[in-house]
Amino acid sequence: MQVRRFLSRYWLLFPALAFYGVFLVYPMIFSFIVSLYRWDGLSPSKVFIGLRNYVRFFSDPTSLLVLKNNLTWMAFMLSIPVALGLILAVILNEKIPGRTFFRAAFYSPAVLPLVAVGIIWSWIYNPTFGAVNSFFRIIGLPHLARNWLSDPSVALYSVILTGIWQGTGFPMLLFLAGLQAIPRELYEAADIDGATGVQKFFYITIPSLRETFVVVISLLMIGSLKVFDLIYVMTWGGPGNFTQVLSTWMYFNTFVYHKAGFGSAIAWITAATSLGVTYPYIRIMSRR
């Protein structure tokens, strides 16, 4: 009787749970099992090596460079887009001429396909006819022109700049939604008390956007660890792996170098890193 009652209540969940299990849970388990083997992803034979793929990752200089690149990407994406998005949201929350147009203009890069963004910025960075080098030549600074995507010292930061341009609109939109939920009475009371604009920003706006900050920073953390499209389209991980990140390094090892076991280990390291940086932040902010 209890089983029948349970089925009558929750039988609609079974198709979704089955879909979830087949297309998410099973691939995750299979990926972890593969990470314990030395396997090219094609041959029927696999060699069990335990956790050696994970040990290899943290002892491989290239893999450590990849991890460093991903953390560098995260640091830039958690600072500049958040700050710019908040500033733009505060400005565009006021009644200024053309407010709707500017909101759409600043948000529009966020809805563009990342592949298209990567191709456009590859043209902008082109060393021969690209807009960046042409601008430096026009203003009389030709010595600043360079091959932005082939120079190991600037290639990663060039792609990061593209990511900042594309990724600022989304935080701006979330901050706008948070700003519009703040009661106007708080600002009116602050005006009566003689508070300055800076004081209202730090003592009313920022504390009132705490939940929005949790959402924005959590999503940007996860997105930074999953970045793939821009790197793949603009540099293909080069020059010399100087722009490789975890997701592209996983892809190359699995599908290009035919090291499915090592690629699966990188996937789990990426997932563990993502969980390790987002979960504590969410817990701490929620507790506050």
**Which residues in the chain land under pLDDT 70?**
1-9, 287-288
* Whole-number pLDDT of residue 1: 57
Backbone φ/ψ region at 258: left (φ over 0), alpha (ψ -120 to 50), beta: left
Tokens of 17: 């749970």
- Residue holding tokens 């040990």? 55
CA distance 172 to 53: 40
CA distance 238 to 149: 8
- The structural domains of the chain, ordered by start, are 25-287 (1.10.3720.10)
Least Cα distance to 245 among 70, 75, 76 occurs for 70
Tokens of 47: 């060699």
For the whole model, what pTM was predicted? Answer: 0.90
- Is the torsion defined by CA of 282, 32, 257, 119 positive or negative? negative
* Whole-number pLDDT of residue 15: 82
Cis peptide before 171 (omega within 30 of 0): no
**Structural Rg of the chain based on CA atoms:** 24
